[in-house]
Amino acid sequence: MNARAPIVELRNLCVPLPLGGDRRHAVDGVSLSVSQGEIVCVVGESGSGKSVTAQAIMGLLPKLFARPAGAILFDGEDLLQASTQRMRSLRGREIGMIFQEPMTALNPVHTVGAQIDEVLRAHLSRPSAERFVRVVKAMEEVGLPDPERLYHAFPHQLSGGQRQRVLIAAALILEPRLLIADEPTTALDVTTQAQILKQIRDLQRSRGMGVLFITHDIGVVAEIADRVVVMKSGKVVESGDVTRILTAPEADYTRMLIAAVPTLEAARPAEPVPGPLALTVRDIAKTYSVRSAFGGTREVTALKPTSLTLHRGETIGVIGESGSGKSTLARCITRLIEPSSGEAALLGESGGKPFRRRIQIVFQDPYRSLNPRRTVGQSIIEGPMNFGMPKAEAWNKARELMVLVGLEPAALNRYPHQFSGGQRQRISIARALAMEPEILVADEAVSALDVSVQAQVLKLIDDVQKRFDLAILFITHDLRVAAQICDRILVMHRGELVEEGSVRAVFSSPAHAYTRRLLDSIPGKRMAAAA
């Protein structure tokens, strides 16, 4: 353990949930500490109480929570007893905080420089010229290019990574001794995430501050943590040194969490026996023309001409970062948007089935892909009934499918809000399967799920593929997930297909520089090496 005195120490912190919640405490008897010069990672799945813990330390708990019990000692001072005024002066000066969403945490109508400057104005009274110099220096420190120019930029002119750097600059400009980072890299692309993690690590080392880093990603933990606290349902399950936790976890839950993280090892055989051809895509492309106010048009290429073939029983992974054109490809193939050129042709025995029956799509966001006003049963039978199946037969089929995806048939009469994210994704899969498709397009279908749930849904997709001999186009930004489920991989970068090959070939000897960069950025490679 650490001999240095802790900067912040939580003693038996309890945050009660309002009545009617699924449990009585959001945070239930949590004790942990962060010392100078160390990074403590709090890891847990959604609903584990990790964010509430962070909010309690900052004194920023939403009003619906009652007053927390226990103690939060910051330098020996109990923050739970501190006045609002005292908390305000501590925030920013002594405790800095960065959030998950770099898009919403910045005010869109102020320049980023002014927003960093606001921290200085709130806490110090210095002339504006002096503050400007300090802001520019802070922006330089977090690696923002050309800080004098960027000072006057608005948030929408910056990339996601740059915005997160701005937030880090604002959080650290007063050199706080403690930084609380709540999932700061979750919304970022993997290559950007690697850069930001390195930035936080470097700054922490050079300043010797303590960092409380909240994440759901064990890979990120392996990348950055000195010590780890594992939380589940508001309680600390296990805590200790990072190498100990990752190599010899004691609690079952920790073991499950680590085991659920997909590895880069290809899970499928290298030489799959290809089934009959199901889909050929020839030179499909999408350009948008943006008309400006002065009559000129500007062409934006979302997808350059791309070709691929997909066989029955085969899974092709399309990987790439946001803006790489992978979702555009999926939408063009399923004809949710019209491609500008090229075509996608479904092959094989169709039995005269119309296009929409033969290709189905499962979406990313399980909270928005089901109509909240219709029961899940109504959502599932909608497709078959569109194609003339009698109602009673469609309901029977829906009941069978519910069992198939691991849900109770009786739940068909419930509304989507009564299900968890993983359950809703199962329902979405059932809805797609109700059409008896030959091709399933999964557009980031597991990206919004916790790792343990993700593993279950991946297994379900694998099962239904075998059962129905489906051809699957699996769109994902997560290379680890792709390794688990795909036979072949396509790597996309800026609307272009840059590399194609079997999982093993692409991961062991990536040919394109961008693929190499993607592979290098995967968090938790240290963990894989240690294991």
Tell which one of 55, 185, 428, 454 touches other proteins (CB under 8 A). Answer: 428
- Using CB under 8 A as the criterion, what x/- string covers residues 442-481 for binding other proteins? ------------------x--x------------------
Of 261, 248, 186, residue with least CA distance to 218: 261
Minimal distance, residue 246 CB to other proteins, in Å: 28
Q: How far is the CB of 356 from other proteins (least distance, A)?
A: 4
Instruction: Tell me which residue of 218, 250, 119, 249 sits closest to 172, measured CA to CA.
Output: 119
- Tell which one of 17, 167, 398, 407 touches other proteins (CB under 8 A): 407
Of the candidates 19, 22, 84, 271, which one interacts with other proteins according to CB under 8 A? 22
Nearest distance in Å: CB 332, other proteins = 13
Q: In what order do the strands lie in the sheet with 178-182?
A: 95-98, 178-182, 210-215, 39-43, 227-232, 235-241
CB of 234 to other proteins, least distance (A): 16
Do residues 212 and 8 make contact, with C-beta atoms less than 8 angstroms apart? Answer: yes
Say whether residue 383 binds other proteins (CB under 8 A).
Answer: yes
Query: Whole-angstrom Cα distance, residue 419 to residue 401?
Result: 16
For the bound state, the minimum distance from the C-beta of residue 382 to other proteins, rounded and expressed in Å, comes to 6
The continuous run of DSSP H or E covering 179 comes out as strand 178-182
Amino acid letter, residue 280: T
For residue 244, give both structure tokens. 């100990």
According to CB under 8 A, which one of 382, 436, 469, 496 is a site residue for other proteins?
382
Contact status: 204 vs other proteins (CB under 8 A): no
Q: Which of 156, 291, 373, 466 binds other proteins (CB under 8 A)?
A: 373
Q: In Å, how far from its chain's centre is CA 230? A: 19
Which helix H or strand E contains 33, and what residues bound it? strand 25-35
Residue 464 near residue 470, CB atoms below 8 Å: yes
Name residue, tokens 């809805």: 431
Q: Should residue 336 be labelled a site residue for other proteins when binding is judged by CB under 8 A?
A: yes
Nearer to other proteins, 245 or 407 (CB): 407
Q: Quote the CA–CA distance of 130 and 166 in Å, as a whole number.
A: 19
Question: CB of residue 505 vs other proteins: minimum separation in angstroms?
Answer: 32
Could you tell me where the DSSP H helices lie in 176-241? 190-207, 218-224
**Among residues 501, 433, 498, which one has the least CA distance to residue 472?**
433
Alpha helices in 434-492 (DSSP H): 451-468, 479-485
- Would you say 196 or 407 has its CB closer to other proteins? 407
Q: Which of 356, 399, 517, 526 binds other proteins (CB under 8 A)?
A: 356
- Under the binding rule (CB under 8 A), the answer on residue 415 touching other proteins is yes
420 near other proteins, judged by CB under 8 A: yes
Number of residues near other proteins (by CB under 8 A): 44
Query: Which residues contribute to the site for other proteins (CB under 8 A)?
Result: 22, 334, 336, 354, 356-357, 359-361, 363-365, 368-375, 379, 382-383, 386-387, 406-408, 411, 413-415, 417-420, 423, 426, 428, 431, 434-435, 460, 463
